[in-house]
Amino acid sequence: MGSIVRFSAINSKVKALIGKSMSQEEYLKLLKCKDFKSTVKVLKEETKYEKILEQYNLEKINRANLEIILQRNYIRIYSKLINYFNGEYRNIIKTLFLRWEIEDLKVIIRGKYLGRSKVEIENKLIARSSLNTINYDYLIALKNVEEVIDGLKGSIYYNNLKNSVKDIRGKGLFRIETELDFVYFMSIRKKLKHLDIENKDVGYSITGVEVDLLNLGWIYRGKIFYEISPEELFNYTIYNGSKFSKDKLIKLCYVNDMEDFRNLIERTPYAHIYENYDLISIEKRQREFQKKYYKKFLRENRNNISMVMSYIMFYGIEIRDIISILEQKRYYIGMN
Amino acid sequence: MNMVNLVGIISDFDKLTKMLAIDGCMQPVSALQEINSSDFVLKTDLDNIEELKNVNYIKPYLYDKDYNISLKHLEKLVEDLKTIDIRGGTINDKIFDFDDSEKELSKVYDKYMVLNKNIEDLEKKQQYLKNTYIALEFLKNISHPMEEITTMENFQMGLYKVPDQNMVKLKANYENIPSIIESVYKEKGFVIFISYTPILLLIEAERIFKSANCENIQMPKHYIGTAKEVAVSVHDEINEIQQSTWRIRIELNVFLRENYEIIKKIQRSYELEQKSGEIKKSAACTNEFFYLSGWIPKSFMESFNKLLMSFDDRILIITKDTNERTNKAIIPPTMLINNELVKPFESMVLMYGVPSYGEIDPTMFLAITYTIMFGAMFGDVGQGLVLVLVGFLLKNKWDRINLGGVFEILGLSSIVFGFLYGSVFGSEYVINALLVRPMQHINDVLIAAIIFGCGFLILGFILGIINSIRKKDIERALFGKEGVAGFMFYLGILILIVSIVYKNPLLPKAIWMIYFIFFLLLILLKKPLANILVGKDVLFEEGAKDYFIESSFEVIETLLSMFSNTLSFIRVGAFALNHVGLFVAFSAMASMTKSGFASVMILILGNIIIICLEGMIVFIQGLRLEYYELFSKYYEGGGVSFEPVRVKLRERI
């Protein structure tokens, strides 16, 4: 099938969806609000989220609930996008969805680890949909983390998790959560292999940038906060990034101080993100970088998978931005 | 369709919902919504006093049984049942009590799990020994006994299994890992390696291995001898384990066979629980009573009443016909009743829409007209026979009952018309035409098609008028373009054309003019006229000017659409010609080739193309005539279908 036939419908749909995303003015309006309640009110009455929020009583809503509502709406839109694809491309969109299923799986595992109730866990789940590869009801009904991991037998997650389960009593869920992220990137890479060269390349570079950013964030936090040994740091990095070879990653893991870290990434597009070491502004600059990166694809409107992949990421960032604004209002943080 | 409201003691609720699910006669609706209307009214007498008192404490019924884990266990059992082959007999048994089914399931599942766990453990052990064997193979040239290697003083030998992509990382960072690593075996997805680590650095090395998700395979310490000797005994052990696995597998198989019926019975019971849960979720209750509402078709009432008899008058029933109901917010669903022959065509009607409750079910009309039209367009004895065969296969082999049924009937129609046209697999030399050869009487065929079309349209008009009267829509029934006014106008035109063709004027021109203008005026003024008839005060609801602009366009549209709708049927004749034409093209190609084999192949290929391509076009064109030309006259399809909650009755094995 020609790429025009395959992508023109989804690209038009994506364009229509972009039209519904938040504009600069709308962000400013939200930022100018005085407190949490008025921000939610503006979000409900003056932005494109009106329709989604109209059925909720916002008087009683808190930040966490709102986040779940926005995320679930995101998943609802996502589940519809799958209908524009068939064959290998459908598989790609399904595999990209694993990211949210994995987030839910983390919620379930964490919930079981902390002994949360069934309802508490269910209220936090966002990705229940026809695209699921796991049986939510069954996993939620199980008693503890060990049972949940055992209940994943037959799913794509089991092999990676079965060794980590022994460590949770001593070391917590860190390894399980990292392994789940590995599963996601491994699966994406496997599926991308089956596409034609153009789509494969663009798919690799979009996921590659994501991997790079995750790796940098991981190494940075590992060095500054957790003091993890370089060998372990390296083992927990995700491979197949876009700008960093294995050797460069090793070098990054073995830097002595953050000055070396900055020097090593100086010539990459990510240098700007780490120009100072304040964690919040790093996150902010990272999101700006990502938005700019995905916007480029969205503007180019090429007849390949880039448009839909970028949109999926772009919309995810929009929700995080809104949540950040709401958090700022909720916890009275300054505007800058 | 009746709305049935039931009130009873809560202890009967589970049994009742389960019996309803087995009977499959009720489509439940929200009982609270029904209670809020005035249709769910209990008589105020002494017998009902308790129920009436309880109405004050009414709340939605909370169905909170959680059996997701049981379902998963059941799924495992049923999945395993597929591996054994059992035939004969039917299973109809169910356990009514939920707790009993839970008990029964856990009894079977526990036994199953013991066997299954044994197999899993053995397989795990076997895999583990296989990995050890691989490592020993690697060490086979070392003449030192294994016990010396595994108990070295300053070094520890380790055996690890690691995902292949993590092995790449270990290799890349080899210089920083305090171990000697040697990979001994590679398979898709993982690598096995042996490591030698100084005891002093063991903790650090293990931390690194763990972070790379390495699985530690303990080297067996109880074997004595060189690697080669140990390998032999490990190999023997692997064989032994394999045999034990087989033995337990056979045991498991026997267990499943013995418990086949009981597992199936449990499966049915859970299905029943789920379905009864669906009914329960729509109900309301108090601490003592339940309130349940739902639609039951009149033809099911008898079996429903019989079902209630087992409750000895403990359940109160209020039955109301759709006409007696005041709450119009709950739309009555429609159940289509058609005989076996016509039933497959229901799927074609449902593609357009479900008939509203009270609307004429157009399936019969569609089945007859569509069958005739298809046959007329695709008349061929041989190709028709192929369609019948395809239909038979679809129905019996591939379980596509509706599509298969439609194909069979269309194929038969095609055969009948094939005899009338004298066509077998496109050839017109095999049999004589009983009626006409389309290509030789082109005009007659086209005119006949239009005449048939007129007949169909007239029937469509009549059905439309009946539907409008049933819906008490006077405006549409009398003055609409699909109503009496439009119908009389259309008849007038037909009669006029016939009289002109036969040069036998029935009425003077002036009278015809008055006749047509009169009916067009009726269509133009349909709203005010209807309002007068009904006795409404307002003639035009949205202003006279707007009304007349809109309405005059409608009159023009009426004229155009009557003309185009009628002419549209010409396609039936055109496709009859086209059918012959296509074959003529293929037979010309066949006669041009010199080889007899090639010409036969071309004819076969031609027939296949004609059946697939033209068959599909004719199928679609016929559907278009039905949906666009005929359904627009008489059918709205704005209903909801009747979907009772029902469990699969019985399963054949």
pLDDT single digits (tens) A49-66: 888 888 888 777 888 888
Q: Which of B69, B177, B214 sits opposite A231 (nearest CB)?
A: B177
Measure CA B296 to chain center. 23
Highest mean pLDDT (candidates A163-172, A199-208, B156-165, B563-572): A199-208
Distance CA B235, CA B250 (A): 23
In a domain, B73, yes or no: no
Neighbours of B600 (CB within 10 A): 12
**Is the model more confident about B435 or about B76?**
B76
Residue A163: which of B168, B204, B215 has the nearest Cβ?
B215
Of A141, A175, A179, the CB nearest to B66: A141
The phi and psi torsions of B340 (rounded to 5 degrees) equal -50, -40
Q: Does B177 touch chain A if contact means CB atoms closer than 8 Å?
A: yes
**Residue B522: closest CA among B496, B484, B557:** B484
State which residue of chain A sits closest to B167, comparing Cα positions.
A235
| Residue from the list B165, B208, B210 with its beta carbon closest to the beta carbon of A239 | B165
| B463 plus B408 within the same structural domain | yes
CB contact under 8 A, A140 and B71: no
Distance from CA of A159 to the nearest CA of B (A): 9
User: What does DSSP assign to residue B611?
Assistant: I
Report if residue B590 sits inside a domain: yes
Is residue B70 one of the residues assigned to a domain? Answer: no
In the predicted model, what is the mean pLDDT of residues B300-313? 84
Mean pLDDT of B99-114: 88
Backbone CA torsion sign across B269, B274, B275, B280: positive
Residue B628 and residue B504 share a domain: yes
User: Which pLDDT does position B544 carry in this prediction?
Assistant: 77
Indicate the number of domains in chain B: 3
What is the overall mean pLDDT for chain B?
84
> Do B319 and B358 fall into the same domain?
no
Q: With an 8 Å Cβ cutoff, are B213 and A160 in contact? A: yes
Q: What is the pLDDT of residue A204?
A: 93
Last residue of a domain, one of B292, B324, B356: B324
Minimal Cβ distance to A235: which of B66, B72, B212: B212
Q: Residue B442: what residue type?
A: I
Taking an 8 Å cut-off on Cβ atoms, the answer to whether B66 and A160 are in contact is no
Q: Do A235 and B72 touch (CB under 8 A)?
A: no
- Where residue B512 falls (left for φ over 0; alpha for ψ -120 to 50; beta otherwise) is alpha
Using a CB-CB cut-off of 8 Å, the residues of chain A touching B119 are none
- pLDDT value of residue B639: 84
Give the rounded percent of residues in chain B with a pLDDT score beyond 90: 7
Interface of A with B (CB under 8 A): 118, 135, 137-138, 140-142, 151, 159-160, 163-164, 167, 175, 179, 186, 229-232, 234-237, 239, 246-247, 250, 254
Task: Flag whether B270 is in a domain.
Answer: no
Instruction: Flag whether B616 is in a domain.
Output: yes
Q: Whats the size of chain B, residue-wise?
A: 653
Instruction: List the single range of B57-66, B169-178, B555-564 with lowest mean pLDDT.
Output: B57-66
pLDDT for B87 equals 63
In a domain, B116, yes or no: no
Mean pLDDT over residues B474-491, rounded? 86
Which pLDDT does position B653 carry in this prediction? Answer: 45
In which domain, by residue range, is B593 found? 343-634
pLDDT score recorded for residue A102: 95
Q: Looking at the structure, do residues B433 and B463 belong to the same domain, yes or no?
A: yes
Average pLDDT over residues B359-363: 85
Q: Could you read off the pLDDT of A309-331 as tens digits, one per residue? A: 999 999 999 999 999 998 888 87
CB count within 10 Å of CB B87 equals 6
Distance CA A19, CA A37 (A): 26
- The rounded distance, in Å, linking the Cα atoms of A101 and B155 is 44
- pLDDT of B188 over the 60 cut: yes
Residue B82 covered by a domain: no
Residues of chain A with pLDDT under 50: none
B163 CB neighbours in chain A (<8 A) are 159-160
State whether B446 and B582 are in the same domain: yes
B555 & B599 share domain: yes
pLDDT digits (tens, 9 = 90+) for B311-321: 887 888 888 88
pLDDT tens digits for range B503-516? 877 778 888 888 88
For the segment B73-96, what is each residue's pLDDT rounded down to a tens digit?
888 888 888 887 776 556 667 777
Residue with tokens 């009593």: A169
Q: Are residues B446 and B488 in the same domain?
A: yes
Chain centroid to CA B145: 67
Q: What is the mean pLDDT of residues B222-237?
A: 83
DSSP code at position B535: T
Q: What is the pLDDT of residues A164-200, one digit of tens each?
A: 887 777 777 888 888 899 899 999 999 999 999 999 9
Please report, for the domain that includes residue B191, its CATH number: 3.30.70.100
Q: Which of B66, B71, B211 sits opposite A232 (nearest CB)?
A: B211
- Asked if B68 lies within 8 A of A179 by C-beta distance, the reply is no
Q: What is the ipTM of this complex?
A: 0.83
Using the beta-carbon criterion (under 8 Å), do A167 and B210 form an inter-chain contact?
A: yes
Nearest C-alpha of chain A: how many angstroms from B615?
Answer: 26
Are B385 and B534 part of one and the same domain?
yes
Q: Which residues of chain A lie closer than 8 angstroms to B170, CB-CB?
A: 235
In the block, tokens 């962000």 appear at: A27
* Nearest-angstrom CA–CA distance, B312 and B310: 6
Q: What would the two tokens of residue B206 be?
A: 């293990």
Same domain flag for B357 and B480: yes
Q: Say if B169 is an interface residue toward chain A (CB within 8 Å).
A: yes
Q: How many CB pairs under 8 A join A and B?
A: 64
Examine residue B102 and state whether it is found in any structural domain, yes or no.
no
Q: Distances from the Cα of B321 to the Cαs of B28, B264, B426, B487, in angstroms?
A: 16, 39, 55, 33
Q: What is the mean pLDDT of residues B421-445?
A: 81
All residues of chain B having their beta carbon less than 8 Å from the beta carbon of residue A167 are: 210
What chain A residue is nearest to B160 in terms of C-alpha separation?
Answer: A163
List all residues 6 or more positions away from B52 whose beta carbon is below 8 Å from its beta carbon.
B42, B44
Residues B312 and B349 in one domain: no
Single residue among B324, B357, B385 that ends a domain in this structure: B324
pLDDT of residue A49: 87
- pLDDT at residue number B19: 86
Q: pLDDT tens digits, residue range B593-620?
A: 877 788 888 888 888 988 888 888 999 9
* Closest residue to B176, CB basis, from A160, A230, A237: A230
Which helix (DSSP H) or strand (DSSP E) does residue A31 occupy? helix A24-32
Shared domain for B231 and B293, answered yes or no, is no
Name the minimum distance, in Å, from the CA of A261 to any CA of chain B. Answer: 18
pLDDT above 70: percentage of residues in chain B: 96
Contacts of B165 in chain A (CB under 8 A): 186, 239
Residue B169 in this model has a pLDDT that exceeds 90: no
Specify the pLDDT at position B38. 67
On the question of pLDDT at B563 being above 70, the answer is: yes
- Within 8 A of B71 by CB-CB distance, chain A residues are 137-138
Strands B289-296, B155-163: parallel, antiparallel or unpaired by DSSP? unpaired
B139-150: pLDDT as tens digits: 777 777 877 777
Same domain, B575 and B472: yes
* Per-residue pLDDT reduced to its tens digit, B510-539: 888 888 888 888 888 888 888 887 777 777
CA distance to partner chain A, nearest, from residue B386 (Å):
32
